[in-house]
Amino acid sequence: MKDAVAIVIKKNEKFLLIKRAKKGFAEDYWCPITGAVERGETQEQAVIREAREEMGMAVEPIYKVWECFTDDKQYLLHWWWVKLVNDEIKIKPEEVKDYQWLNMEEMQKIGKMFKADLNFFKEIAIDLNNN
């Protein structure tokens, strides 16, 4: 089982979701910034690297809030609450097609989302506070 991270970023009562560009099963799905933990890397290091690689953002991992398996059961996904250090966005087009800041009501109307992601934002994220 491989480990991956999901990055939970909240600003002005909305969460950052990206539209995935990678070809294959998850293309065009809306989700938080996610990525595999590389060999020799901690989850915290993966969170910082993925936010920088996919969106050009600087984040500070605060704490892990949840974990679940990905839909294809290939990864154990560790959800991390982060503090936004720098929200200047420069998307990496081969990873990200688009992004939006959304609340739960807007997420339910956006289109393709994984069940676990919707569940997270509906059940768990409501208890997270802005940092």
Say if residue 87's pLDDT is above 90. no
Query: Which value, to the nearest 10 degrees, does the dihedral of the CA atoms of residues 19, 24, 25, 27 take?
Result: 10
Give the per-residue pLDDT at 129.
62
Judged against a pLDDT cut of 60, whether residue 18 lies above it is answered with yes
Comparing 87 with 51, which gets the higher pLDDT? 51
Assess whether pLDDT exceeds 70 at residue 130. no
Q: Which residue has the higher pLDDT, 19 or 127?
A: 19
Q: What is the pLDDT of residue 125?
A: 83
| Region of 49 on the Ramachandran plot (φ > 0 left; ψ -120 to 50 alpha; else beta) | alpha
pLDDT value at residue 98: 97
Q: Give, rounded to a whole angstrom, the gap between the first and last alpha carbons of the chain.
A: 32
Q: Which domains does the chain have, with CATH numbers?
A: 2-125 (3.90.79.10)
- Residue, of 59 and 128, whose pLDDT is higher: 59
Contact between residue 68 and residue 77 where contact means Cβ atoms under 8 Å apart: yes
In this prediction, residue 46 carries a pLDDT of 98
Cα–Cα separations (whole angstroms), residue 125 to 28, 81, 94, 102: 23, 9, 28, 12
pLDDT at 131: 42
Task: Determine how β-strand 75-86 pairs with β-strand 2-8.
Answer: parallel
Is residue 65 a contact partner of residue 43, using CB atoms and an 8 Å limit? no
> pLDDT tens, 39-82?
999 999 999 999 999 999 999 999 999 999 998 889 999 999 99
